[in-house]
């Protein structure tokens, strides 16, 4: 797991992981790259990460992948990432094609739903929490009246 301040150097990261895949004698290497889109009046997106829980989340996925003979990789930006730059890369390295295709889907979807990362639109230099696009994590709401 790699965290970077600001935009990711996708070329460098993907090249390095690709070499790792070849060195592991794995035939399938899939990457998912998240790029900041121009939308509304956004100048950039900005991210907060709570690293201790993200690390546990990732280690749990590493175990899951290992049980299928695969490896997962992840890189994410902290702070501001301007439009057109990349904030997120996840990857699966696997000897088997099917395992790789299935894992990347589950890994990216679970990342979206449960990785402790908060996203903000940057508009006129101000951070605005992307509330509508955010997802309550597994187990959310237990502190509410209805959660009891």
Partner 1 sequence: MVKVEFLGPIAKEPIELDISSLKELAEFMQKDKDLKEWAENSAVAVNDTIVSDIEYKLKNGDRVSILPPVCGG
User: Which residues here bind partner 1, judged by CB under 8 A?
Assistant: 34, 47-50, 52-53, 56, 76, 87-88, 97, 108, 111-120, 129-131, 133-148
The pair phi, psi for residue 117, each rounded to 5°, is -130, 135
71 binds a second copy (CB under 8 A): no
> Of 64, 72, 80, 75, nearest to 28 (Cα)?
72
Structure-derived torsion over alpha carbons of residues 31, 37, 106, 50, reported in degrees to the nearest 10: 100
List 56, 66, 97, 126, residue binding a second copy (CB under 8 A): 97
Pick what 36 binds: partner 1, a second copy, none; C-beta below 5 to 8 Å, kind-dependent.
a second copy
120 binds a second copy (CB under 8 A): no
CA distance 113 to 8: 21
11 binds a second copy (CB under 8 A): yes
CA distance 132 to 135: 8
81 binds a second copy (CB under 8 A): no
Stretch that binds a second copy, among 46-54, 65-73, 99-107, 114-122 (CB under 8 A): 99-107
In contact, 137 and 110? CB cutoff 8 Å: no
Count the Cβ atoms, other than its own, within 10 Å of residue 62: 16
Count the Cβ atoms, other than its own, within 10 Å of residue 73: 23
**CB 23 → partner 1: shortest distance, Å?**
20
Pick what 119 binds: a second copy, partner 1, none; C-beta below 5 to 8 Å, kind-dependent.
partner 1
77 binds a second copy (CB under 8 A): no
Count the Cβ atoms, other than its own, within 10 Å of residue 7: 18
Which residues lie near a second copy (CB under 8 A)? 10-11, 14-15, 18, 21-23, 25-38, 84-86, 95, 97, 100-101, 104-105, 108-109, 112
């Amino acid at each position: 797991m790699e965290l970077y301040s600001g935009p990711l150097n996708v070329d460098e990261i993907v090249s390095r992981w690709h070499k790792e895949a070849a060195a592991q004698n794995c035939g399938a290497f899939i990457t998912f790259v998240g790029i900041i889109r121009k939308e509304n009046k956004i100048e950039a997106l900005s991210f907060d990460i709570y690293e201790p829980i993200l690390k546990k989340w990732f280690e749990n996925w590493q175990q899951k992948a290992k049980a299928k003979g695969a490896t997962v990789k992840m890189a994410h930006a902290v702070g501001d990432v301007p439009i057109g730059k990349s904030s997120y890369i996840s990857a699966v390295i696997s000897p088997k094609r099917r395992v790789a295709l299935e894992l990347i889907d589950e890994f990216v979807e679970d990342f979206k739903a449960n990785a402790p990362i908060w996203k903000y639109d940057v508009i006129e230099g101000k951070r605005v929490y992307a509330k509508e696009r955010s997802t309550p994590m597994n187990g959310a709401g237990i502190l509410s009246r209805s959660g009891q």
